[in-house]
């Protein structure tokens, strides 16, 4: 009797299991949703005999083949040899262009991913991986049928810059956690990781010519914890790790405001004026403990609170530019990507003229070291160099100023893209000065219609920042980032015509299962039937 019940349960679950399986390719939970998708009628099975065949010249091809094999091997337990001779999974690279598009053709006998550039092939691989049962994400062998639906996909991104930002200054984030974040970004086809490396509360990257920045400035964080910093070798390792996943690191040194950690490390950089009395906050942040620094013309005190807008470099001190020059030079030498982020936000105690003078001089320094400046939208009040990018977070009129100068805008509207905003008033961490951002709100907006006068051609791309005033560990990152990062990746990658909340709401369910399986502590938004 017992046996019969057991059998019953088993058959039931098998039946249920197979009902759960998507019956067509378009019903598989691909995020971001591809441009063009045609359903086939059959299935393709990955089997112990499957192999990966490489077609093309590029030396990165072997690397991509191995990457795919390594993603498929642990859960399937299959050998999946990678070769130029045979295999049913074909990776074909036709050129070495920077084009990010790919084609994916799945028939009953083979799968073929074709691209003219390595990044495109990598994105095709990401899509392919999402087609399998979620158990594929497991690190041990699973007894599952590795079946996917046939059909074809032609895909390319809407925006060339699809980014996320980690504020490693308010709370330091370890190399290991940044790598984890990079892996997550890669699976959603994001390609720029902006690291906010300095702020009032901490300086997080070693500068060999100014060592006290990390000795002193890196020694604490919000709440008074021990802080931390990346050595230059660790930073280079992150740049390389990201590059292998087609992600470009954008380093940010925030200035002239948000500079207390530097001012606490080197007294001689201090403006030498007393900070004004009063409340310097423009926004009413969550009531965390904070302490104002001593009003001291010498080195300022380290700061572990979360108020903003009260520190500044001195723009009429030549030493300031010597300092900035060293910092930009050292970091630029370690950075393979084209951008250097100069911050520029919330400099509420910098005179307007001083601010403009400072931004213009710093842009020149950045350009001298072969990089292009990005800055928060306020930098558009200065004269921008051709190519400089204004990152829109708050003020439409600043975005407009950038556009009128012929410069592009990186869209990070706080009300939609700030990953540190709470989902609702019950969220256990996060701020809410800009908005509460539930999953549907993060999804339902159109970047080319968001700020008046800013249309597609003015937009370089999108970036979702995670500020970390209230974020102290991986669980906190997971909770604020997922599932919103998946939603934002679709806004950045997929065309307006393809996006639909109803569809996303269904597709994200399998991602939730994958997150559960891999220990990503995501927010179980009530907007989704998980
Ligand atoms: C505003 S966005 C800031 C950050 C804070 C963030 C908190 C921006 C350019 N400045 O300094 O961390 O709000 O949400």
Mean pLDDT computed over 489-500: 97
Whether residue 450 sits in one domain with residue 312:
yes
Q: Reply yes or no on whether the pLDDT at 2 is more than 80.
A: no
Q: Per the structure, how many domains does the chain have? A: 2
How many whole angstroms from 280 Cα to the centroid of ligand 1? 14
Rounding to the nearest 10 degrees, give the CA dihedral for residues 9, 15, 17, 23.
-170
Q: Which helix (H) or strand (E) holds 125?
A: helix 118-130
Q: How far apart are the first and last CA of the chain?
A: 34
> Which of 118, 137, 155 marks a domain boundary?
155
**Reported pTM:** 0.92
- CB 517 within 8 Å of CB 494: no
Nearest CA to ligand 1 atom 9: 345
- CB 351 within 8 Å of CB 358: no
> Which of 99, 122, 155 marks a domain boundary?
155
pLDDT digit string (tens) for 12-38?
444 444 444 558 999 999 999 999 999
Per annotation, catalytic residue among 346, 463, 469, 490: 346
Whether residue 328 sits in one domain with residue 305:
yes
Nearest CA to ligand 1 atom 5: 467
CA–CA distance, 276 with 410 (Å, rounded to integer): 33
- CB 391 within 8 Å of CB 358: no
Whether residue 284 sits in one domain with residue 388:
yes
**Is 346 designated active site?**
yes
Whether residue 139 sits in one domain with residue 180:
no
Here the contacts of 423-430 (C-beta below 8 Å, separation 24 or greater) are 423/523, 423/525, 427/523, 428/479, 429/470, 429/471, 429/476, 429/479, 429/480, 430/470, 430/480
CA–CA distance, 132 with 21 (Å, rounded to integer): 10
CA–CA distance, 45 with 150 (Å, rounded to integer): 10
> Which of 130, 155, 180 marks a domain boundary?
155
How many whole angstroms from 346 Cα to the centroid of ligand 1? 8
pLDDT value at residue 57 = 85
**Lowest-confidence region among 165-169, 249-253, 309-313:** 309-313
pLDDT digit string (tens) for 333-365?
999 999 999 999 999 999 999 999 999 999 999
Domain holding 45, by residue range, is 24-155
Point out the ligand 1 atom lying closest to the alpha carbon of residue 434. Answer: 14
Q: Reply yes or no on whether the pLDDT at 292 is more than 50.
A: no
Whether residue 413 sits in one domain with residue 295:
yes
Whether residue 353 sits in one domain with residue 266:
yes
- CB 110 within 8 Å of CB 88: yes
Point out the ligand 1 atom lying closest to the alpha carbon of residue 465. Answer: 2
Which residue among 341, 467, 468, 480 has the greatest number of ligand 1 atoms within 8 angstroms of its CB, and so is best to mutate? 467
CA–CA distance, 483 with 464 (Å, rounded to integer): 13
Nearest CA to ligand 1 atom 2: 393
Higher pLDDT, 7 or 329: 329
- Ligand 1 binding pocket (C-beta < 6 A) is 308, 345-346, 376, 393, 418, 420, 431, 467, 469
> Which has the closest alpha carbon to 412: 100, 161, 202?
161
pLDDT digit string (tens) for 203-234?
999 999 999 999 999 999 999 999 999 999 99
Could you list the beta-strand ranges (E) of 35-88: 36-45, 52-55, 82-83
User: H helices of 335-483, where?
Assistant: 352-368, 396-404, 414-417, 439-443, 474-481
Whether residue 283 sits in one domain with residue 425:
yes
Mean pLDDT computed over 111-125: 97
Residue 58 confidence class, pLDDT cut points 50, 70, 90: confident
Whether residue 235 sits in one domain with residue 188:
yes
In a domain, 528, yes or no: no
Q: Give the angle 103-109-114 at the CA atoms, nearest 5°.
A: 20
Please provide the average confidence, as pLDDT, over all residues in the chain. Answer: 92
Whether residue 388 sits in one domain with residue 360:
yes
In a domain, 380, yes or no: yes
CATH number at residue 134: 3.30.379.10
Whether residue 232 sits in one domain with residue 148:
no
How many whole angstroms from 467 Cα to the centroid of ligand 1? 7
In a domain, 12, yes or no: no
Characterise 387 by phi-psi region: left (phi > 0), alpha (psi -120 to 50), beta (else).
left
Q: State residue 195 phi and psi, 5-degree precision.
A: -105, 115
CATH number at residue 382: 3.20.20.80
User: H helices of 435-483, where?
Assistant: 439-443, 474-481
């Amino acid at each position: 009797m017992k046996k019969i019940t057991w059998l019953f349960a088993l058959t039931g679950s098998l039946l249920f299991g197979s009902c759960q399986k998507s019956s067509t390719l378009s019903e598989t939970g691909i995020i971001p949703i591809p441009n063009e998708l045609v359903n086939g009628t059959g299935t393709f099975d990955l089997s112990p005999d499957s192999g990966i065949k490489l077609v093309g010249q590029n030396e990165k091809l072997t690397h991509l083949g191995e990457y795919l094999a390594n993603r498929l091997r642990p859960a399937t337990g299959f050998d999946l040899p990678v070769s130029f001779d045979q295999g049913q999974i074909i990776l074909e690279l036709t050129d070495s262009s920077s084009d990010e598009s790919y084609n994916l053709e799945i028939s009953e006998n083979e799968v073929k991913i074709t691209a003219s550039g390595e990044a495109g092939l990598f994105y095709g691989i990401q899509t392919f991986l999402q087609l399998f049962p979620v158990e594929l994400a497991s690190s041990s062998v699973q007894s599952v049928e590795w079946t996917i639906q046939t059909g074809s996909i032609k895909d390319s991104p809407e925006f060339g810059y699809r980014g996320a930002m980690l504020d490693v200054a308010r709370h330091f984030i370890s190399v290991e956690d940044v790598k984890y974040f990079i892996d997550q970004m890669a699976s959603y086809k994001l390609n720029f990781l902006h690291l906010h490396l300095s702020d009032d509360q901490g300086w997080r990257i070693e500068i060999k010519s100014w060592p006290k920045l990390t000795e002193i400035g890196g020694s604490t964080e919000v709440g008074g914890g021990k802080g931390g910093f990346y050595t230059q070798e660790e930073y280079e390792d992150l740049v390389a790790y990201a590059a292998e996943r087609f992600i470009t690191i954008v380093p940010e040194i925030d200035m002239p405001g948000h500079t207390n950690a530097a001012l606490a490390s080197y007294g001689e950089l201090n403006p030498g004026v007393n900070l004004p009395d009063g409340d310097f906050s423009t926004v009413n942040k969550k009531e965390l403990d904070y302490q104002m620094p001593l009003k001291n013309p010498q080195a300022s005190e380290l700061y572990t609170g979360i108020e903003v807008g009260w520190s500044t470099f001195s723009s009429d001190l030549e030493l300031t530019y010597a300092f900035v020059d060293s910092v930009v030079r050292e970091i630029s030498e370690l950075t393979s990507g084209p951008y250097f982020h100069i911050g520029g936000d919330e400099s509420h105690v910098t005179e307007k003229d001083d601010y403009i003078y400072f931004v213009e001089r710093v842009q020149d320094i950045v350009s001298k070291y072969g990089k292009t400046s990005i800055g928060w939208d306020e930098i558009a009040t200065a004269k921008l160099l051709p190519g400089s990018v204004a990152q829109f977070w708050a003020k439409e009129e600043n975005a407009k100023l950038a556009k009128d100068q012929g410069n592009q805008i990186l869209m990070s509207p706080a009300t939609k893209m700030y990953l540190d905003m709470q989902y609702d008033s019950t969220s256990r961490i996060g701020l809410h000065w800009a908005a509460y951002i539930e999953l549907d709100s993060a999804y339902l907006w159109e970047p080319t219609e968001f700020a008046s006068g800013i249309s597609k051609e003015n937009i370089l791309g999108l970036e979702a920042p995670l500020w970390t005033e209230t974020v102290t560990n991986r669980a906190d990152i997971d909770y604020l980032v997922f599932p919103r990062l998946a939603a934002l990746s679709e806004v950045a990658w997929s065309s307006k015509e393809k996006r639909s909340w109803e569809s996303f709401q269904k597709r994200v369910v399998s991602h939730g299962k994958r997150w559960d399986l891999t220990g990503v502590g995501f927010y179980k938004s009530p907007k989704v039937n998980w």
